[in-house]
Amino acid sequence: MKTFRIGGIHPAENKFAAGKKIITAALPGQVVIPLAHYIGTPADPVVKRGDIVKVGQIIGQASGFISANVHSSVSGKVVKLDVQLDASGYKRPAVFIEVDGDEWLETIDRNPEIKRECTLSKQEIIEKIKAAGIVGLGGATFPAHVKLMPPPGKKAEVLIINAVECESYLTCDHQLMMEHGEEILIGVTILMKALEVNRAIIGVENNKKDAIQLLKKLAADYKGIEVEALKVRYPQGGEKQLIDALIRRQVPSGRIPVEVGAVVQNVATTYAIYEAVQKNKPMVERVMTITGKDAPNPGNYRVRLGTYLSNVVEEAGGVPEGTGKIVGGGPMMGRSLMNLNIPMAKGSSGVVFIRDAEAIRKPVQNCIRCTKCVTVCPMGLEPYLLMAQSERNMWTEMEANRTMDCLECGSCSYTCPSNRPLLDYIRFGKSTVGGIIRSRTAK
């Protein structure tokens, strides 16, 4: 079975919510819709206090190339434009809307019937995806349409669908595939058309055998779509790792996937693209997993954007006793949350409750030079060395040792027998080195 060729780990999967039907979360009384995404420029608000909005109505206009439109996820009245602490840990601009009923824009097709035909041109598809504010739902929230417009001279040869869901605990993508496999495949054909490729590969880790089976069966009716089972290995959902696993090409340092002929889209993004293109539905809701070892009711919930996480968690049975940490996203790359008064955003793939005992880091010991961090690093870096150099402000050396290649997957810190905070120091070094590189190229 295929997998990526350098490094990797296999944490306990703990997919407690696997196979749990998607539950549509109750409409909250108020939503706070962030205008900023995890990366890129925040959208400019196009509504003001007192405006009445419908579901799907645009409230934030993309500003700049790496930026995406934002739409209202509810119908009701805009009560204020303000800043709100979000999952990034920063206060950022957001639109506060008081919910009144559930009235959708008339242009949105809410009929659950599957619509297969797509007669739009390549350009029309890209425009629709852009207008719908679709971003990568794996967590990085990179605008989806940007990836469909390769830089001049570069041509995609193959579309790769990231259905790996390599983070432990999370199951939202898995369940989405089980319930909306057909729509996802139509989404794939739309993306293939937009990219003008005739081959697409859906990469799924082998701990989702039912999804692999289902997609394989469905894919038999489509031309050029392959479903590939992958060996369970973290961080296979990393873009470069997934390309390596599926087509045995390694994207060189500092380059983008299309330079080896690949474009990667997440499976949930693909579903959102189906809805945007075929049903005129902008990005107003997504499926997220609420889970944890002691979670009373681990499950997958379809949640409107801007819903406070506390609302969804309450619906899922509340925060379990003895929770020491709440993670927004997966336990390897997610962010620990200060509280649950945080609105869910496009990149919110889950909420994971970590027990007290697991939440506390163990005391740091000397590096025993066991080489385990080097062995597991999926980019072929030397985390022990980068940490030592970061501690000593050796930025030139860190750059020479390719610290900017680090994808912050956390495999090094996860593995370290001495509990050393390898990634903390590497991240710190990366931001400093990144700043040095930017000021150098600015000259």
Partner 1 sequence: MEKLIISPAPHIHSGDSVSKNMYGVVIAMVPALLASLYFFGLGALIVTLTAVAASVLFEFLIQKYILKGPVTILDGSAAVTGLLLAFNLPSNLPLWMIIVGALVAIGVAKMSFGGLGNNPFNPALVGRVFLLISFPVEMTTWPVVDPLATTYLDAETGATVLGILKEGSASLPAVSDMIVGNIPGSLGEVSAIALLVGLGYMLIRKIITWHIPVSILLTVAVFTGILYLADPATYASPLVHLFSGGLMLGAIFMATDYVTSPMTFRGMWIYGVGIGLLTVIIRTWGAYPEGVSFAILIMNGFTPIINFYVKPKRFGEKPKKA
Rounded-to-integer distance, Cα 4 and Cα 250, Å? 10
Q: Which of 103, 127, 226, 382 binds partner 1 (CB under 8 A)?
A: 382
Residues 234-293 that bind partner 1 (CB under 8 A): 240, 244, 250-253, 255
Shorter beta-carbon distance to partner 1: residue 35 or 260: 260
Q: Judged by CB under 8 A, which stretch of 93-101, 102-110, 196-204, 417-425 contacts partner 1?
A: 417-425
Helix (H) or strand (E) holding 196: none
Binding string, residues 203-242; x marks residues near partner 1 by CB under 8 A: -------------------------------------x--
Q: How far is the CB of 328 from partner 1 (least distance, A)?
A: 10
Rounded least distance, CB 351 to partner 1, Å:
12
Give the separation between CA 159 and CA 139, rounded to whole angstroms. 19
Is residue 345 close enough to count as binding partner 1 by CB under 8 A?
A: no
Helix locations, 256-394, DSSP H: 267-279, 309-315, 356-359, 372-376, 383-391
Helix (H, G, I), strand (E, B) or coil at 173: helix
Closest distance to partner 1 from the beta carbon of 423 (Å) = 7
Residue 58 sits in the site that holds partner 1 (CB under 8 A):
no
Q: Which is nearer to partner 1, 127 or 397 (CB)?
A: 397
- 235: preceding bond cis by omega (within 30 degrees): yes
Q: For residue 72, which of 43, 39, 38, 31 has the smallest C-alpha distance?
A: 31
Q: Is 109 exposed, middle or buried (0-12, 13-18, 19+ CB in 10 A)?
A: middle
Minimum distance from residue 309 beta carbon to partner 1 (Å): 12
> Binder to partner 1 among 341, 371, 396, 431 (CB under 8 A)?
371
Would you give the binding string for partner 1 spanning residues 298-337, x where CB under 8 A is met?
---------------------x---xxxxx---xxxxxxx
Contact between residue 312 and residue 306 where contact means Cβ atoms under 8 Å apart: no
Task: Give whichever of 8 and 56 is closer to partner 1, judged by the CB atom.
Answer: 8
Determine the residue type at 372: K
Q: Is 427 in the site for partner 1 (CB under 8 A)?
A: yes
Interface with partner 1 (CB under 8 A), residue from 419, 431, 434, 435: 419
CB of 263 to partner 1, least distance (A): 17
Nearer to partner 1, 30 or 375 (CB): 375
How far is the CA of 166 from the CAs of 190, 272, 331, 413, in angstroms?
25, 20, 11, 17
Please tell me whether residue 375 binds partner 1 under the rule CB under 8 A: yes
Indicate whether 366 belongs to the interface with partner 1 (CB under 8 A).
Answer: yes
Closest CA to 20 of 365, 292, 299: 299
Using CB under 8 A as the binding rule, whether residue 296 contacts partner 1 is answered as no
Q: Is the Cα dihedral 386, 390, 393, 399 positive or negative? A: positive
Site residue total, partner 1 (CB under 8 A): 68
Question: Contacts with partner 1 in 93-112 (CB under 8 A)?
Answer: none
d(Cα 114, Cα 78) in Å, to the nearest integer? 33
Phi/psi of residue 53, nearest 5 degrees: -125, 160
**Residue 365 near partner 1 by CB under 8 A:** yes
How many Å is the Cα radius of gyration of the chain? 21
Alpha carbon distance 242, 21 (integer Å):
27
If the CB atoms of residues 219 and 326 are measured against partner 1, the closer one turns out to be 326
Q: Of 6-14, 19-27, 269-277, 431-439, which part binds partner 1 (CB under 8 A)?
A: 6-14
Output 339 or 393, the one with its CB closest to partner 1: 339
Half-sphere CA count of 339, side-chain side, radius 13 A = 4
Residue 124: CA atoms inside 13 Å, Cβ hemisphere, count? Answer: 8
- The residue ranges that bind partner 1 (CB under 8 A) are 6, 9, 11, 168, 240, 244, 250-253, 255, 319, 323-327, 331-339, 352, 354, 358-362, 365-372, 374-375, 377-382, 384-385, 401-402, 405, 408, 410-411, 413-419, 421, 423-424, 427
